[in-house]
Amino acid sequence: MIQAQIGIAMYRDRTKSVPDKILGGHGDAAFADYVWLVSYNLRLPKKGSAESLNGIKAPNGKGATSASFKPFNLKTLDGTSKTLQDYANKVTVVSFFFPKCPYCNVDLPEEQKIYDKYKDKGLSMVWINILPEQEKLIASWLEEHHYNVPVLVGASMDSLSKDYQIKATPTNYLIDENGAVLYFKSGYKPGDEKSLEAKIAAALNIASIAQLR
């Protein structure tokens, strides 16, 4: 995290000495006209440790892991209970989001395109809302953006954070038909959707993504 601040002297009303009056000084509060402050915070993992995912080593720097994705039992917007098995396919993308998340609203349109492209080739996708208080926004949000990816609700943010290492949104998992995690990404930066698509294509044994475009 990088922060920058600037303080600007807007008004001064302090007692001026004779030299201040002669030379145009600021009196006995001679603060600078501008003050710049820049700071940063850097979080580092403890030496020799690794973030854990359900007790197994979490995804490495290349986005791959041998961890197993923890099954869930959640609900659709109409209250129907669903489990992970209801969405299991050759590969499945599980994305954690909330409707007002700005990064989700950049990433999820790209995920919708990926879903449309690969859903007939062995891909399933499901989005899980992490903020119960925004559940009432989801139906209109789906309609507004013309999304047809299944959405699940009903879990608390605390339980999701604990079970799925959610530290930023969107958090995306790609899992195979046995529940093994093939790819993990927390947060979003431009180009992440290309990495996800490449992982999907590889898992589906599709040699060239370009051939499908």
Q: What are the pLDDT digits (tens) for 17-38?
A: 777 777 776 665 556 777 888 8
- In-domain check, residue 49: no
Looking at residue 30, its pLDDT comes to 58
Same-domain pairing of 25 and 95: no
Answer with the residue of higher pLDDT: 191 or 207.
Answer: 191
- Domain encompassing residue 26: 2-40
Q: How many helices (H) and strands (E) does the chain have?
A: 5, 11
Query: 137: domain CATH number?
Result: 3.40.30.10
Burial annotation 166-204 (CB, 10 A radius, 16+ → b, else e): beebbbbbbbeeeeebbbbbbebeeebbebbbebbbebe
Looking at residue 121, its pLDDT comes to 95
Same-domain pairing of 34 and 139: no
DSSP state of 153: B
pTM score above 0.75: no
